[in-house]
Structure formats: structure tokens, C-alpha cells
Structure 1
Amino acid sequence: MRIGVVADATCDLPHEFLQEHKIGVLPVAIHLGDEVLNDVRDPDATLRFYADQLASKGLDAHTVPFTAEQIREKFLADIVLEYDYVFCVTITSTRSAIFENATKASFAILNDYKNARARQGVSGPFALRVVDSKSMFCGTGVLAAEAAKLARSGVGANEIRKRLDELRENIVGYMVPNDLYYIRNRGIKKGEKSIGLLTYAIGSALDIKPVILCYRGETQPVAKVRGYRQAVEKMFRHVAGEIRRGIGTQHLCISYGGPLDQVAALPGYDELAKAARTHGIEILTSIMSATAAVNTGGGCVAVAWGGELNPFA
């Protein structure tokens, strides 16, 4: 059985990993006034977006995921021909309509795939499972990477399904935003109140940065640290401690809202990388997607893995 993995463009994984494991990408359209950028996880295009458009147009941008019909068309055009079983991994349904659209599309795909395969001389059944990662950005990456690795190793579809259902309940993700002004004003435009006026005023005056937890579809601040670099260091040191304690995946994902050559210079990264090497954990580092950047601003650092949620210290 040919098993494939598809993820939406918010899924933060290295470009090389996506290509090596042939992970398909569902694009997200970013509307910037009269311009439209299709986010397909192209690293060069993403860096240009960070450099040329995010600061000037990001606050007014809005993102539009593939509709159910667009997802149906993409699957019937090639994916149902290349694979017999596909896991479609999406950002948490609490933050985007991608999961809902993909679920709607799945019914039409399963009704229509036989004709598409017959026209190309492809025999046999096709199956599709849409998986809500209950995470986002590099957290979605953790789940998609697990699915891709298991598929490559020859694990059957039922075993992969069971593993993903278990893992998505235990993806721990943290992020440190660099620009509270950007996040607060993006939140106002979207009707969110996660960073209130008083909290923002205090945080800006004292340069306080939050460490934000994403777990089981919900986000909340778990620490407030004076200074961006100090907050990143605290987050990375916590993750290093979790690795030493023992995590539930053989990889963790890091994404950064900017050039990747800056990640290794972030405070606390050396300790995290050393712990990962010692315990045989692969670090998958990627540029944070343009779609994510529209909501988090530049310079955001995120990290995620599969495992038990422990108190942040």
C-alpha cells in the first residue's frame, strides 16, 4: 500500500524534509491589499515576505485557506493517483477552517476517486483520513513528521492512524513572540483579546515577553519574562530539561520567523541541541510559515514535540 502525507501550509517543517518525504502542501492565500501571496512553504518566497511585506502590510493582511472544492480538485488531480491511503494533517480546528474544509472535501474525494484513478489506469481502493493536529505551526510539524517517518518505515495505515490519534493529544508546543504591538493589533482586527490593553502597556513598558503554550487546541501564556532573548533562553532551557527527562517522539520541531542562520545564535539553543544529541533526538528546524507570520509577527520562535505536559519552569 502506498501511504502518503499531506499538510497545510502552516505546518512548519524544513523544505528538505518535505521534499525527501514527499509531503504534499495545501496552500493558503495571503491577501495583502491588491496582492495575493500563495503560501506553499517555499523558503525563498517566505523570506522575501518577511523582508519586504510583513512589516508594511502584515497588520492588514488576511489569510484564506483552500476551500473544500479546491482541496477536492487537488486530490483528484494527482494525490489519489500517487497514493492508496493519505493522512491529511491540519492546523488545530480551533484556529482555522482548514480541518473543516478538508473534512468536507474528503467525502467528495472518496465518492469521486474511482473515476479519476480509472482514467489513469490506477486500480484498487483509495482511503483518506483528515487529522486535526490540535496544535499549530511546528506542533503540526511534529505530527506530520511522525506520519511521514512511519509511512517510510513500512508501518501499516491502521498502526499509523492509532499512533497519530494518540500523539495529537500529547503535542506540547511553546512560542515566544518578539513583537507584542503586532500581536495585539492583529488580535484586535480578528476580535481576539488574548493581550489586553493593560497587559500590553505593562509588557511594552518593561519589555516583558510571554512564553505561550499550545496544547490540545488551546493557547495560554505560562510565563512572562523581561526581555525577548531571556524569554527564548528560558523556553529552550525548559525544552532541554524535558528532553533529558524523556520525550515521546524521536524528533522535535523548531520554527523561527526569520533567516534560519540566526536560530543557532539564540540563547539557550546550544543547551537544547546538546541535550538532543545526547538523547538521539532529531531537531527539525524551519522558517515559520508566512501564514503564521501574519498572526505572530517577525522574530517569533516556536518549538514543539510529542510527550507529557509538565509544569513550565
Structure 2
Amino acid sequence: MRIGVAIDAACDVPQDFLERNGIAVMPITVKVDGQKFKDDRDPVEIQRFRNQKLGSKSHSGETEPSSVEDVQNLFLDRLVKDYDCVICLTIMATRSPIHDNVIKASFAILKNYRPIREAAGITGPFLMRVVDTRNIFAGSAPVVAEAVRMIQAGKSPAEVRERVAHIADCSYGYMLPRDLNYLRSRARSKGDRSVSFMSSMLGTALDIKPILRAHRGETGPVGKVRGFDHGAQLLFDYAAKRVQAGLLVPSLSLSYGGDLDEMRALTGYHALTRVCGDAGVEILESPMSITGMVNVGEGAMTLGFASEDHVADF
């Protein structure tokens, strides 16, 4: 059986990983300052967004995930012919309507695929399995990596779905924002008052950065640090300890809202890569999606892995 993977564009995984594994991307349309960007993880489009230097204007940007019709078209035009089953992975349903859109689209896809496959000379049924990664940005990557690993191991659709659903429950995504004022402005533009004016001003004045965690569909702060570089070092050191303790998926993901060489120059990065190399853990590095940069600001970093339950200590 030919099993494929389709992801939400806000799942931060490298472009070469997508291409090597034939992963389809359900795009997000981003509108900022009168300009439109197609967020489908294309590095050229991500660079075009960064070259615009929209800066503070991005906090009022609009993001539109693939609609029900968009998802239907992607599948009926292409995927029902390329595969016999597609595992669809989306960012947490509590943060985006894309999961619900894919579920709704699946009814029409499963109703209408037969004549399309027959016309292409393909026999047999077509299956869809939709999984909420319960995470966001780099935190969704462990689920994507595990889906690919299970498919390459020849597992059945039921086995793949069961395993990735388990990994979704065990995935941890961490984010270190660079600009608290941007984060506050973006939150307010979406009606979220969780980042107050005083806390953002105080944090900016003292260079205090929160460490935010996404896990099982919820997001919130788990620590705070003084200075972005120091915060990155703490996150890298923390991730190295989790790698040494043992991960459930042999990969660790990093995404950065800027030039990846800037992230690689941060203290603790090379020590983390050595620990991952010794443990046989693949590092998946990618530019943050356009959607991610609009929501949390350029220069932010996210990190993701899957492990047994533990208490974050920052």
C-alpha cells in the first residue's frame, strides 16, 4: 500500500526532508501590509517575506489556513492518485481551524475519489487518517518524523495512526521569543489579553524573556530568563539532557525566525549537536514558517522533541 503524508504549513520541518519523503503541504495564506504570501514552506517565499522587513507591521497580519475546498482540491487533484492512504498531520486544533477543515473535507474526498482513481487506472479504496499533533511549529515535527519512519518500516495505516497519535501526546514544543512587545501586539490583535502591557514593558526593559511550552493542545510559560542568548543556551542544555535521558523518536527539531546561521552561532548549539550525534538523534533544522513569524515575531526560536512525561526545570 502506498502511504503518504500531508502536513499543515505551520509544522516546522526542513524543505529537503519534505522533498525526500514526498510530503504534501497544506498551505496558509498570509496577508501583511497589503501584501500576500503563500506559506507552503517554500524557502524562497520565506526569504521573500523576510526581505520585506515588515517588522512591527506583521503583528496585524491575517492568516488563512487551507479551507475545506482547498483541502478537497489538493486530495482529489493529486493525492488520491499518488497514494492509497494519506496521514494528515495538523498543528494543534486549539490554535487553528485547519484540523476541523481537514476533517470536514475528508467526507467529500472519500465520497468522490473513486471515479478519479478509476480514470487513472488505479484499483482499490483510498483512506485518510487525520491526526492533531497537539503541538505547533517545531513541536509538531516529531510526529511528522515518526510518521515517515513508520511508513518506511512498512507499517499499516492503522499502526501508523496509532503510533503518531501516541507521539502527539508525548511531544513537547518550546519557544523563546525575541520581542515581547511584538508578542503582546500580536496577542491583542487576536483578542488575547494574556500578555499585559506592563509585563511586556517590564520584560523589555529588563531583557526578560519567557520560555513557552506547547504540550497536549495547551500553551503557556514554564520559565523566564534574562537575555535571548542565555535563554537559547538554557533550552539547548535542557534539550541535551532530554536526549541523554532517551527520546521516543530519534529526532530533535529546531526552527528559527531568521537566518539559521544566527541560531547555529548561539551558545550551546554545538554542544547539543554533539550530544545528538552521540545518541544517534537526527536534528531537523528549518526556517520558521511565515505563519510562525507573523504570530510570534521574527528572531524567535522553537524546539521540539518527544519523550516520556517530565517536569520542565528552567
| TM class by smaller structure | over 0.9
How far apart in 2 are the matches of 1:62 and 1:245?
A: 40
Aligned to 1:171: 171
Aligned to 1:180: 180
- Per-residue deviation at 1:134? 0.2
Aligned to 1:205: 205
Q: AA paired with 2:262?
A: Q
How far apart in 1 are the matches of 2:212 and 2:246?
A: 21
Aligned to 2:227: 227
Q: AA paired with 2:67?
A: T
The answer on whether the counterparts of 1:257 and 1:300 sit within 8 Å (CA) in structure 2 is: yes
The answer on whether the counterparts of 1:54 and 1:297 sit within 8 Å (CA) in structure 2 is: no
Mapped pair 1:116 → 2:116: yes
How far apart in 1 are the matches of 2:242 and 2:284?
A: 17
The answer on whether the counterparts of 1:54 and 1:298 sit within 8 Å (CA) in structure 2 is: no
Q: AA paired with 2:285?
A: T
The answer on whether the counterparts of 1:84 and 1:125 sit within 8 Å (CA) in structure 2 is: yes
The answer on whether the counterparts of 1:47 and 1:259 sit within 8 Å (CA) in structure 2 is: no
Aligned to 1:82: 82
User: Which stretch of structure 1 is more off in the superposition, 94-103 or 138-147?
Assistant: 138-147
Q: AA paired with 2:50?
A: Y
Aligned to 1:142: 142
Q: Deviations over 1:242-282 (max 9, x none)?
A: 11111111001100101112222111112211111111100
TM-score, with length taken from structure 2: 0.97
Gaps of 5+ in 2: none
SS at match of 1:263: helix
Aligned to 1:287: 287
Aligned to 2:269: 269
How far apart in 1 are the matches of 2:267 and 2:257?
A: 16
Aligned to 1:98: 98
How far apart in 1 are the matches of 2:54 and 2:271?
A: 31
Q: Deviations over 1:121-163 (max 9, x none)?
A: 2111000011111001111222112111221232221211110
Q: AA paired with 2:255?
A: S
How far apart in 2 are the matches of 1:291 and 1:107?
A: 27
How far apart in 1 are the matches of 2:51 and 2:34?
A: 19
Q: AA paired with 1:253?
A: S
- Across the two proteins, how many residue pairs are aligned to each other? 313
SS at match of 2:214: strand
Q: AA paired with 2:95?
A: R
The answer on whether the counterparts of 1:251 and 1:282 sit within 8 Å (CA) in structure 2 is: yes
SS at match of 1:308: coil
How far apart in 1 are the matches of 2:57 and 2:118?
A: 46
Q: AA paired with 1:296?
A: V
Residues 150, 167 of structure 1: alpha-carbon distance in 2 compared, 3 angstrom cutoff = same
How far apart in 1 are the matches of 2:54 and 2:149?
A: 33
How far apart in 1 are the matches of 2:312 and 2:71?
A: 38
Q: AA paired with 2:16?
A: E
- Per-residue deviation at 1:114? 0.4
Mapped pair 1:242 → 2:242: yes
The answer on whether the counterparts of 2:139 and 2:172 sit within 8 Å (CA) in structure 1 is: yes
Gaps of 5+ in 1: none
- Per-residue deviation at 1:48? 2.2
Aligned to 1:311: 311
SS at match of 1:38: strand
TM-score, with length taken from structure 1: 0.97
The answer on whether the counterparts of 2:254 and 2:285 sit within 8 Å (CA) in structure 1 is: yes
Aligned to 1:132: 132
How far apart in 2 are the matches of 1:145 and 1:54?
A: 32
- Per-residue deviation at 1:56? 5.3
Q: Deviations over 1:58-111 (max 9, x none)?
A: 122110011111111110000000000100000100000000000000111010
Report the RMSD for the aligned CA atoms in angstroms: 1.1
Aligned to 1:57: 57
- Per-residue deviation at 1:164? 0.9
Q: AA paired with 1:42?
A: D
User: Which stretch of structure 1 is more off in the superposition, 278-287 or 146-155?
Assistant: 146-155
The answer on whether the counterparts of 1:172 and 1:309 sit within 8 Å (CA) in structure 2 is: no
How far apart in 2 are the matches of 1:262 and 1:35?
A: 27
The answer on whether the counterparts of 1:10 and 1:292 sit within 8 Å (CA) in structure 2 is: yes
Residues 309, 268 of structure 1: alpha-carbon distance in 2 compared, 3 angstrom cutoff = farther
